[in-house]
A and B are shown apart, each in its own frame.
Chain A
C-alpha cells in the first residue's frame, strides 16, 4: 500500500479546512458547509479501493475458509 494516499488525504483535509474558515469569515456559511461535504466525498473516493480491499480480506478470513 502506498503511503502517498495518506499525505494526499491530509492535504485535502487542510485545504478544505482553510477554505471553510475563509468562507465562514466572509459570512457564506452555507457554501462553507457544502465545501466541507465535498471534501468528505473526495476523501471517501480516495479510500474506497482500500476499504473494498479490507472487506475482501475480512470476508476471506472469516467467512470462506
Chain B
C-alpha cells in the first residue's frame, strides 16, 4: 500500500515538473509572438495618428485616443495614458507626457530597448513643430518599426518553436534524472 502511494506521489511530481517545464517554454515563446504582434499594432496606431494629424488636424490628446482605438491593451495604454496625462496636467509638454507614459507602460509590453529609443525620439518632435515636420518624423518612426517588425517575425519563427520544444525536453530531462 505504502509503496503504491509513494509511486503515485512520484508520478504526480513528474507530471507537475513536466507541466511546469512546458509552461516555461510556452511563456518564453509567447514573448516572441507578443513582440511582433505588438510591433504591428504600434505601426497601425502610428499610421492612424498620422492620418489624424494630416487630414483631421485633430488636437493631440483626441488624436492619441482615436489612434489607440481598435488596438489591444498594452500598446493602446501607451496612447491613452499620454492623452490622460496631457489633459490632466496642463503644464506637461507632449514630450514629457509621452516619456512618462512610455516609462509606465514599457514593463508590461514585450517590446525591447530599440523600439523604446525610436518612440522616444519620435515623441520629442510630436506636438512641437508644424504638421509637416511631425508627419515626417512619424513616417520615419514607422519605417524603423517596420524593419524591427520584420526582424521580430523572423526571430519568432526561429525561437518560438525552439523554446517550446526546449521547455518540454528540459522537463523530461529533469524527470529522468530524478527517477
Contacts and interface: CB of A to CB of B under 8 A. Distances in A.
B29 to A, nearest CB: 12
Interface magnitude class on chain B: 10 to 19
Contact of A12 (B161, B162, B165, B177): B177
Residue with the greatest number of chain A CB neighbours at <10 A, chosen from B158, B162, B170, B176: B176
Contacts of B19: none
Contacts of A23: 162, 166
Contact of B162 (A8, A16, A22, A42): A22
A28 B131 CA distance: 46
B169 interface: yes
Nearest to A26: B162
Nearest to A8: B176
B162 A11 contact: no
Which DSSP category, helix, strand, loop or mixed, fits chain B's interface?
A: helix
A56 to B, nearest CB: 26
B158 A12 contact: no
B177 A22 contact: no
Contacts of A25: 162
A65 interface: no
B173 to A, nearest CB: 5
A19 B176 CA distance: 15
B176 A15 contact: yes
A26 B57 CA distance: 48
Contact of B173 (A4, A16, A26): A16
B151 to A, nearest CB: 14
Per CB-CB distance, the 3 closest pairs between chain A and chain B, nearest first, are A11-B176, A26-B162, A15-B173
